[in-house]
A and B are shown apart, each in its own frame.
Chain A
């Protein structure tokens, strides 16, 4: 158990809908990272928050957004869902992460499996 929790574990929805994925980092970790894992794209970094502020952006679509709240939990919002958004979405956390080099060990949650029908 990494200490990172993600809810829900599974999510099934229809195209065009909007969903919210939730992540609670390990106690004491200030950074939260979101990743998407799909068969065709592999594991891709989406976005990072550090202590409530967006720190880095990866291959995140404009239909997707995220935020980190004062209690450090994070939510990833996916809207206007398409079939291709079906994937496993991971959240990870680390103690630091405010610098340019992500040298801090990232602890991964179990993921949320999103199925868009």
Chain B
């Protein structure tokens, strides 16, 4: 069955430190991959997406993600975290008419 896994439920990071959120997918072929962010009380906002081509994808708010076919991963990174990055992050994969989301990773930023 197609699935998206985010192994980390919660990550705490200091402001200014780097952040990496993990995402693994299980699909028959390489799916289209997305990262969304959900701030408290808000809907989801697309950070970046990967369809094909360059495996390092740049997104909004200083985020980037790297697609690694050999590891079935699409990890999200940010070199220096800001307090406003505290939110829940969802990895998603598209296929069969729908988006399948991971369980999400909650990021807490400490001063």
Contact = CB atoms under 8 A, between A and B. Distances in A.
Interface in B30-84: 32, 36, 41-46, 49, 51
B13 interface: no
A44 B100 CA distance: 7
Interface of A: 2, 4, 33, 42-45, 48, 55-56, 58, 90, 92, 100-103, 105-111
25 contacts: A2-B43, A4-B43, A33-B99, A42-B103, A42-B104, A44-B101, A45-B98, A48-B97, A56-B98, A90-B43, A90-B44, A100-B97, A101-B32, A101-B94, A101-B95, A102-B94, A102-B95, A102-B97, A102-B99, A103-B51, A105-B49, A106-B99, A107-B46, A108-B45, A110-B43
Is chain B's binding surface mostly helix, strand, loop or mixed? strand
A109 B44 CA distance: 8
B90 interface: yes
Question: Interface size bucket, B side?
Answer: 20 to 34
B95 A43 contact: no
Contacts of B98: 33, 45, 48, 56, 58, 102
A111 B51 CA distance: 27
A109 to B, nearest CB: 5
